[in-house]
A = this chain, B = another copy of it.
């Protein structure tokens, strides 16, 4: 069993070779007549497939090099203890950013737009104006800074309090260019508050604070929910796919259909597709451009995450390190900010927000916080148990109140002194432990989950969160916003 962990997962050769012509077709297609409506999107898909292949191939190929450079970890949840290469998120980040850089001439040069004749009906999207190039480049700069800072974190093992400002530093290029380009700092006021504030409010400098906090949140909220093989990358993957699904609603499609969201209380239908209306964009070129921008960043991200997940899946052959969390978090912040759908983005982070709120008592010192809060692995039974934090002395009254409330809501499992009723232990306040408690209570009153199942929970809760997010965004949002 000890050797199994270090043997790279075999690559399905036929699939890999088969994908090369598919990817090539996507890249060549826009140069052939008739030119498709969105030539850049074809090329982006082509590059994404190549990124997937590169990640699949490079992660196992570079693993030994990382181990040699002292970048390896031991799996906290495994019975064997052979070193597994750590920080391979760097490979994902490099492939991702290189794909985005090589994409520049296709997205921004005239070579494609000159060829694409205006479509006979519907809005024609002449890809990006050159002014958007600096926005694209500043996003790349932020991603690259997140990569280098994440990797430095892996190499130097930066302390927690020095870590927090890292995403803020990485978001500086974004903010600088946003400022230099005199970016919009107005926000739309929700309907119930309009009598007080009007329909638009200029946040000014506060908007820059909001943007840097968004990148901090997106980065750290993924990082905080780590500890099970594949947990970081699967969160990123599901969020990225959710963003892509949301973007697709705004593109001009040759077909169209309606989603019956009036059932959820929305006044307007969700119109999906139709060249004239460009789906939810309602004919707005600006909106189509923004969501194309988002797609260009999300498609290769999904590709590298999927490629890495293949090797990071239980039992993991490679660990992501902090680099992956930083880069994916920054990528989400970038599209949320630059494509102006940060509120929708935050909805996709619902599980992370829940985890953050749940963690607050431990983060702010009410409850003791051990170094690792990941679920505990029982070697004998091969099962996962919620990990626990012990109270060395009887907890303060505020802590008791909070924990009692959490316990009533079935968020934590408390160990109480049989006679005095003093709280001795609590399960660590993370969404993973919460889900373990939830599952065992509802199903067999016993911790039955294997590690692999643990990952399935994460995937499940993230997908569930995204479904909820779509419901809120296109159903309930109609109650507080115009559309």
Contacts and interface: CB of A to CB of B under 8 A. Distances in A.
Contacts of A181: 130, 133
Contacts of A416: none
Interface in A154-197: 155-157, 169, 172-173, 176-177, 179-182
Contacts of A140: 141, 173
A151 interface: yes
A66 B181 CA distance: 38
Interface stretch (A97-105, A227-235, A395-403): A97-105
A137 B141 contact: yes
A148 interface: yes
B108 A180 contact: yes
A144 interface: yes
Given A110-B182, A155-B69, A101 B148 contact: no
Instruction: State the oligomeric state as a number of copies.
Output: 2
Interface in A263-295: none
Interface string A72-105: 0000000000000000000000000010011011
Q: Which secondary structure dominates chain A's binding surface?
A: helix
Interface residues of A, number: 40
A109 B182 contact: yes
A70 interface: yes
A105 B182 CA distance: 10
A407 interface: no
Contacts of A169: 98
Interface string A117-155: 000000000000011011001101100110110010001
A415 interface: no
A65 B156 contact: yes
Contacts of A176: 101-102, 104-105
Contacts of A173: 101, 104, 137, 140
Contacts of A182: 109-110
A104 B180 contact: yes
Interface in A14-33: none
A322 B317 CA distance: 30
A70 B156 CA distance: 9
A176 B169 CA distance: 26
A86 to B, nearest CB: 13
Contact of A156 (B69, B107, B179): B69
20 contacts: A68-B156, A69-B156, A70-B70, A104-B173, A104-B176, A104-B177, A104-B180, A108-B180, A109-B179, A109-B182, A110-B182, A130-B180, A133-B134, A133-B181, A134-B134, A137-B137, A137-B138, A140-B141, A141-B141, A144-B144
Which 3 pairs of residues, A with B, have the shortest CB-CB distance? A137-B137, A104-B176, A108-B180
Given A101-B141, A130-B134, 14 more contacts: A68-B156, A69-B155, A69-B157, A101-B172, A104-B173, A104-B176, A105-B180, A107-B180, A130-B180, A133-B181, A141-B141, A144-B144, A144-B145, A151-B151
